[in-house]
Amino acid sequence: MKVRIMIMMLGLLLAMPGFTSANVQVPDENQKPSAPNSHEIDGEKGTEECDCDEKHEHMHKNWQEKMAEREQKLLTWVNQYTPDKKEEWTKVLSEKKELRNKWLSPENATKREKWKQEKMEKIQALKKQLDEGKITKEEFVQKAHGGKAMGNWKSFHDLKAAVDTRNDKQAAELLNQLLEQTKQHNEKMKAMVVE
């Protein structure tokens, strides 16, 4: 049970786009990678070291594809429900990609490793508290994600539900909410990249 919870939390940590926003790809077959287990970043020639096993490389590609699909859906919904915000959305999403690339750049490798180590230490401390019965499972999840409970993912799924039910007013409100959350995310990433 403990191992399963730890694996689940590690998976959530690694998949958490609200903070890490990792976006890595498997290099094109015709392109020779510069290092073992390296990945192309957003179609650019630079590569990023990845400590994953080859059997897990497909997870990176699937995640990257999902993020691209999510962005396309967002822009489609922006055109439909809040066309006056399209330029702002385009700017914010572009900035998000730029910040992600900076965060994944070799220049920030030390910061990334330090951040990962601190995050894992925090999770280990929380896991110990959970095992000792000092916190509940819900508190563990809440604290492990910095209290934000993956709000932008929830907003996205609520938005999708509003679109599916053709609730135009709610879809527009959720798009505006998600835009603000994405701006806040970008500000956090700026602080991490600049530190």
Residue-level pLDDT at 41: 36
Number of CB atoms found within 10 A of residue 47's CB: 20
SS3 25: strand
Range among 61-65, 143-147, 177-181 rated most confident: 177-181
Mean pLDDT of 82-97: 93
- Which tokens sit at 12? 């959530």
Per-residue pLDDT at 87 exceeds 70: yes
Residue-level pLDDT at 6: 57
The whole domain housing 114 covers 2-194
**pLDDT tier at 139 (50, 70, 90 boundaries)?**
confident
pTM over 0.75: no
CA distances from 149 to 128, 144, 153 (A): 20, 9, 9
Single out the residue of 160, 179, 115 nearest to residue 123, CA to CA: 115
Our count of domains for the chain comes to: 1
Contact 157, 178 (CB under 8 A): no
Mean pLDDT of 124-145: 88
φ, ψ at 39 (rounded to 5°): -130, 145
Note the pLDDT tens digit of each residue in 102-115: 988 999 999 999 99
Contact 66, 160 (CB under 8 A): no
